């Protein structure tokens, strides 16, 4: 295979966590640092692709020399990805997207009152599932952050979201998942387990994912 097997391909990578505002000073988010998504983006660029990152909240410097659009909420992330969707060849959804957001966003800082408070949440759009349903020629890679029954949940997400590949990490494992510099992943396709990787740096995991994507997309044209 050539050293630039993704030359001519447009790759979109989502990275980081979404942030759902409660009021001007409070929000719901998660521990995603952006490291995994940024590593995938670097690998895609190294393999010759034209890469765009859609980044939510992140804790590390984004890769230099790659186009990046910053977003906050799941709905903003959906709009940014959807705007590029038709021209996208490969989408990698490494971001940790909030499944719910506060039903109301208070205009002013909420004041303390009773001993308990209830926050009503409404479901966010599932970006991957929505785009998976509208897939034409795009190659779609989802991620799954799980704490148990990795394979069962990963295969369910792969099928439900119509992904070509699903990268699953058990985020309870030492050296895997959120914020760490390493990850431990299994990659599934529609037939089941395709690749099981040992603990590797996120840079190396990103490269292995994109090399597999390159293998699977060679000869596929839009």
Annotated binding site: 99, 109, 143, 157, 161
Two tokens, residue 188:
């599934």
Query: Which of these is catalytic: 30, 82, 169, 183?
Result: 30
Contact between 180 and 203 under an 8 Å Cβ cutoff? The reply is: no
**Secondary structure letter of residue 17 according to DSSP:** B
Q: Contact between 34 and ligand PMT (CB under 6 A)? A: yes
Site string for ligand PMT, 121-140 (x = CB under 6 A): ---x-xxx------------
Tokens 């897939």 belong to residue: 135
Q: Contact between 178 and ligand PMT (CB under 6 A)? A: yes
CB atoms within 10 A of CB 43: 27
Active site residue 30: yes
Q: Contact between 32 and ligand PMT (CB under 6 A)? A: yes
Contact between 128 and 163 under an 8 Å Cβ cutoff? The reply is: yes
CA 193 to CA 209: how far, in whole Å?
14
Size of the site for ligand PMT (CB under 6 A): 28
Q: Contact between 156 and ligand PMT (CB under 6 A)? A: no
Among 169, 184, 203, 213, binds ligand PMT (CB under 6 A): 169
Of 41-49, 105-113, 141-149, 212-220, the segment contacting ligand PMT by CB under 6 A is 141-149
Among 71, 177, 206, 213, binds ligand PMT (CB under 6 A): 177
Residue positions counted in the chain: 222
Q: Contact between 74 and ligand PMT (CB under 6 A)? A: yes
Q: Contact between 186 and ligand PMT (CB under 6 A)? A: no
CA 17 to CA 76: how far, in whole Å?
12
Among 95, 140, 165, 184, binds ligand PMT (CB under 6 A): 95
Give the chain's largest Cα–Cα span: 64
DSSP string, 50-88: EEEEEE-B-SSPPPTTSEEEE--SHHHHHHHHHHHHTT-
Catalytic residues: 30
Binding site for ligand PMT (CB under 6 A): 32-37, 74, 93-97, 99, 124, 126-128, 142-145, 157, 169, 171, 177-179, 202
């Amino acid at each position: 295979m050539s050293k630039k097997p993704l030359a001519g391909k447009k790759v979109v990578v989502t990275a980081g966590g979404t942030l759902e505002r409660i009021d001007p000073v409070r929000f719901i988010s998660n521990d995603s640092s952006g490291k995994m998504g940024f590593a995938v983006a670097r690998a895609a660029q190294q393999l010759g692709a034209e890469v765009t990152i859609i980044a939510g909240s992140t804790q590390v410097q984004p890769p230099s020399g790659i186009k990046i659009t910053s977003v906050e909420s799941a709905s903003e992330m959906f709009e940014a990805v959807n705007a590029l969707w038709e021209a996208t060849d490969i989408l990698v959804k490494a971001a940790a997207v909030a499944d719910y957001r506060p039903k109301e966003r208070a205009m002013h800082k909420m004041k303390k009152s009773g001993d308990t408070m209830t926050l009503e949440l409404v479901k966010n759009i599932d970006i991957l599932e929505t785009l998976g349903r509208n897939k034409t020629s795009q190659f779609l890679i989802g991620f799954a952050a799980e704490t148990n029954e990795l394979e069962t949940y990963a295969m369910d997400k792969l099928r439900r979201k119509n992904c070509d590949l699903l990268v699953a990490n058990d985020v309870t494992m030492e050296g895997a998942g959120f914020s760490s510099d390493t990850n431990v992943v299994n990659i599934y396709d529609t037939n089941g387990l395709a690749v099981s990787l040992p603990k590797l740096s996120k840079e190396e995991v990103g490269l292995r994912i994109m090399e597999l994507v390159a293998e699977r997309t060679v000869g596929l044209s839009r």
